[in-house]
């Protein structure tokens, strides 16, 4: 049976992994919408390859180029933030939400409002708008399938029990490329070094988040929304091999863990096939070859981001949205060579220490908190 698929963020790393799996099972899917920001060449090529109904660029200035690239293909072209939401609102059996950053929030919400199934990779949306997004999922009867490897692991481990039987959920963290770097070395870290993740191949923003450990902080907040067991039952352990993707410990002392290769096609396949399983071409684990799996406590002195995320979760209200916005601004400034690596967490901390706006209760209010926090974080950096 053919199912319909929309892929928000088709030209990114998650987009490529998703389309690799779809390509191998071509007959099972009909593609509705594919989106990008401004990577017109790749988006148009993918839209033609997968015979999408519509291709959308988030940046409206790139629409004329997209129209040109798709002329006489019969594929609709659209551009702008509103067009992303309209494409997501066409509805599909499965929508993969893989735009990077809070820019993915409104289109994800538009898909949620259709009440379909959403494979959620975009973590910033859930961090910024956790309460609002989860309430919309409930209200519209949508199904959220966590795609991030850690949350997908927890989701799988929870098939073996119930939330009220959970003693503790432990997110594993690779520790990133700078796990063993001293504070002095971290101060000198460059964007090129930060995006070189030891285990995973990912987009630039999430790679920097992994290097600062903010990625784990964002995941901590995501887990709090996805698996409401209470903040005191959520933990983080550094596990450099990235073989165990996360664990659930039950009241009786049993711990269930999900293991797999460091290949996002595994959790994505679990979402594409859910509630079934599908074949993937991914390398299989060879445990004797791996030899050992090691675990460490996170070092929050060198990597304060997990502490900041925990504090933002405890504070609740607007704090997670402010943390996310300040982090997005600081990571972009770091990638542009404008600030040093350690300034990223400092910017987040300074942003959180200011008086925060009231808790946002609607999508529009979340977006307003996000915009204001971006302006303030940018001001902090200009006066740094
Ligand atoms: P990439 O940077 O590789 O891709 C981002 C995608 O979003 C691209 O299609 C890009 O289009 C599009 N995009 C960027 N900005 C905008 C915008 N303003 N409006 C509309 N579209 C936009 O990111 P990843 O694939 O690595 O990550 C995507 C999301 O998934 C992130 O939230 C990340 O944290 C999360 N994630 C990623 C994992 C990974 O392994 N990569 C693992 C777990 C979660 P264009 O190409 O035109 O710029």
The pLDDT confidence band at residue 6, using thresholds 50, 70 and 90, is very high
Beta bridge partners of 55: 34, 77
The burial class, CB within 10 Å (0-12 / 13-18 / 19+), for 135 is: middle
Say how many C-beta atoms besides its own lie within 10 A of residue 254's C-beta. 12
- pLDDT at site 170: 98
Q: How far apart are CA 126 and CA 98, in angstroms?
A: 12
> Ligand 1 within 6 A of 14 CB?
yes
The sheet with strand 117-120 has its strands ordered as 76-79, 54-57, 29-36, 3-8, 94-97, 117-120, 143-146
State whether CATH 3.50.50.60 applies to domain 3-147. no
Q: What is the number of the ligand 1 atom nearest to the C-alpha of 209?
A: 34
What lies within 8 Å, CB to CB, of 359 at 6+ separation is 131, 316, 317, 318
User: Which of 103, 155, 206, 264 is the best mutation target for the ligand 1 pocket, counting ligand atoms within 8 Å of the beta carbon and taking the most?
Assistant: 206
Report pLDDT for 5.
98
Residue with tokens 């379909």, as numbered in its chain: 116
Q: What is the pLDDT of residue 200?
A: 84
For the segment 32-56, the average pLDDT, to the nearest whole number, is 98
* Region 113-141 average pLDDT: 98
Mean pLDDT score, 306-312: 98
| Closest CA to ligand 1's atom 22 | 37
pLDDT reading at 273 higher than 80: yes
pLDDT value at 199 more than 90: no
The predicted pLDDT at position 207 comes to 97
Coil, helix or strand at residue 278: coil
Strands 244-250 and 166-173: antiparallel
Q: Is the CB of 203 under 6 A from ligand 1?
A: yes
Q: Output the CA angle 238-239-244, nearest 5 degrees.
A: 130
pLDDT tens figures, 228-261: 999 999 999 999 999 999 999 999 999 999 999 9
Map out the domains of the chain as residue ranges: 3-147, 151-178+206-300
pLDDT above 60: residue 36: yes
13 CA distance to ligand 1 middle (Å): 7
Closest-lying ligand 1 atom to the alpha carbon of residue 10: 9
Pocket test for ligand 1, best of 10, 13, 69, 150 (most atoms within 8 A of CB): 13
Longest dimension (CA), the chain: 62
3 state SS of 57: strand
Sheet with strand 234-238: strands edge to edge? 234-238, 166-173, 244-250, 255-259
β partners of residue 118: 95, 144
């Amino acid at each position: 049976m053919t199912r319909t698929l929309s892929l928000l963020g088709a030209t990114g790393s998650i987009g490529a992994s998703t389309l690799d799996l779809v390509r191998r099972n071509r007959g099972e899917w009909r593609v509705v919408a594919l989106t990008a920001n401004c990577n017109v060449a790749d988006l148009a090529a993918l839209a033609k390859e997968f015979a999408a109904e519509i291709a959308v660029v988030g940046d409206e200035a790139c629409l004329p180029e997209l129209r040109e690239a798709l002329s006489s293909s019969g594929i609709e072209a659209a551009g702008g933030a509103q067009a992303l939401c309209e494409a997501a609102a066409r509805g599909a059996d499965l929508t993969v939400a893989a735009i990077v950053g809070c820019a993915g929030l409104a289109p994800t919400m538009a898909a949620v409002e259709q009440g379909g199934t959403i494979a959620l990779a975009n973590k910033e949306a859930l961090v910024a708008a956790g309460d609002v997004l989860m309430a919309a999922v409930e209200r519209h009867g949508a199904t959220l399938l966590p795609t991030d490897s850690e949350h997908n692991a927890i989701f799988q481990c929870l098939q073996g029990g119930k939330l009220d039987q959970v003693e503790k959920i432990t997110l594993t963290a690779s520790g990133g490329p700078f796990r063993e770097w001293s504070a002095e070395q971290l101060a000198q870290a460059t964007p090129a070094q930060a995006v070189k993740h030891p285990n995973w191949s990912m987009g630039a923003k999430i790679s920097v988040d992994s290097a600062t450990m903010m990625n784990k902080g964002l995941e901590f907040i995501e887990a709090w929304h996805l698996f409401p067991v209470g903040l005191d039952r959520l933990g983080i352990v550094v596990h450099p091999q990235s073989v165990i993707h996360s664990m659930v410990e039950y009241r009786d002392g049993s711990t269930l863990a999900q293991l797999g290769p460091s290949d996002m096609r595994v959790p994505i396949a679990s979402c594409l096939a859910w509630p079934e399983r599908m074949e993937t071409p991914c390398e299989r684990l060879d445990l004797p070859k791996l030899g050992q799996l090691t675990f460490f406590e996170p070092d929050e002195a060198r990597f304060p981001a997990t502490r900041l995320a925990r504090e933002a979760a405890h504070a609740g209200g607007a704090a997670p949205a402010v943390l996310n916005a300040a982090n997005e601004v600081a990571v972009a400034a770091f990638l542009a060579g404008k600030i040093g690596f350690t300034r990223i967490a400092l910017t987040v901390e300074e942003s959180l220490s200011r008086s925060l706006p009231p808790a946002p209760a609607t999508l529009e209010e979340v977006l307003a908190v996000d915009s204001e926090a971006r302006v303030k974080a940018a001001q902090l950096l200009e006066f740094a």
